[in-house]
Amino acid sequence: MDIRLEKLTKVFQDKGDASQQVRAVDELDITIPSGKLIGLLGPSGCGKSTTLYMIAGLLKPTSGKIFFDDEDVTELPPEKRGIGLVFQNYALYPHMTVLQNILFPLQNLKVPKQEALERAQKVADLVDIGTLLNRKPKQLSGGQQQRVAIARALVKEPRVLLLDEPLSNLDARLRLQTREEIKRIQRETGITTIFVTHDQEEAMSISDEIVVMKTGLEQQKGAPQEVYNNPVNKFVAKFLGTPPINLFFGKVENKGLYIGDEKIGDSELENQDVIVGIRPEGFEVNDEGTGEFTIDIEQVEYIGRDKSIVGRNPYSENPTFRFIIDSDIKNVEPGKQIKATIKKNKCFVFDKITESRIQ
């Protein structure tokens, strides 16, 4: 089932000043393809959870429309939308067993007992908690509790599954394991799923497509790697990637792209001051120390097959920047000055004023 948002807008009154308004979501136009897992990604306050709650029917839009396929569900109450919603805090009933928690929504729907039990067992097996049905939530790990919450949402056989920061309360190992499980479950069920997160690594690893948001506005939508490789503006480039992209004050002069007095590439742009973004993996360093970009090495960290380098350059937007090179590269030590070549496909040019990508 496709989900289509047309100029979806949500305006809140400022609690401190009734005359002030906050546009949490601003004329959002998005189509979420049937059977896909879409990540809504952005920093706190960007409007991603508000968007999710409007799709769920928990918040009423100020304006705009929400369609499930061709059905306008904008005014439809949550219980009639056919949605399954999983919250960050699991929201399990502590006095109930796992089975009772999963069965609870079916009891509200007055599903016959035997059918309800069969459906509960089926989804419990799907999320790999089929042997835990007699336990109470306090007897489960955080990852297992989250699976119970997902099973409870799926047992209703919803048309769409909505996940609001579902992994935030888990430790790093469980986050990795649970996001793999969510992806597996989504693929096996084929249910259209929206996954809200502020964690870009999480969104990129789990999503078929991501929607990057900022201050209620869509910045970019596309396959995760495509958005990473071709950011439309400085915000998207900075938000995606670990370590984050490195930014430098640069200029275009006589068809050359410069950082300071060092020409790092060519450009067809008119002469102007620009912001140059270089991904951490975009620095090519060799043992001979040849290249066009000067870096003062401050710190070297070994991370398996790679070295993570903290460097300085007087034109860096931040005091230091970080880049990744092969651990076999020699003569890269703290206190040394090296030269690097910049990989063309890892280097982006942004307008200094609008911050849109121009090269």
In degrees and rounded to multiples of 5, residue 127 shows phi and psi of -95, 10
State residue 18's pLDDT score. Answer: 66
**Mean pLDDT, the chain, integer:** 94
Percent of the chain scoring above 70 in pLDDT:
99
pTM for this prediction: 0.92
Instruction: Give yes or no for a contact between 359 and 269, defined as CB atoms under 8 angstroms apart.
Output: yes
**Alpha carbons 261 and 176: distance in angstroms, whole number:** 44
The fold of 3-239 is Rossmann fold (3.40.50)
Sequence-separated (6 or more) residues with CB below 8 Å from residue 154: 84, 123, 126, 127, 161, 185, 189, 191
Mean predicted confidence (pLDDT) in 117-142: 94
Instruction: Give yes or no for a contact between 291 and 284, defined as CB atoms under 8 angstroms apart.
Output: yes
Residue 145 has pLDDT above 70, yes or no: yes
pLDDT in tens, 163-220: 999 888 788 888 888 888 899 999 999 999 999 999 999 999 999 999 999 999 999 9
- The pairing of beta strand 246-253 with beta strand 217-222: unpaired
In degrees and rounded to multiples of 5, residue 107 shows phi and psi of -65, -40
Portions of the chain given CATH number 3.40.50.300: 3-239
The residues facing 331 across adjacent strands are: none
In degrees and rounded to multiples of 5, residue 64 shows phi and psi of 100, 175
**SS3 category, 235:** helix
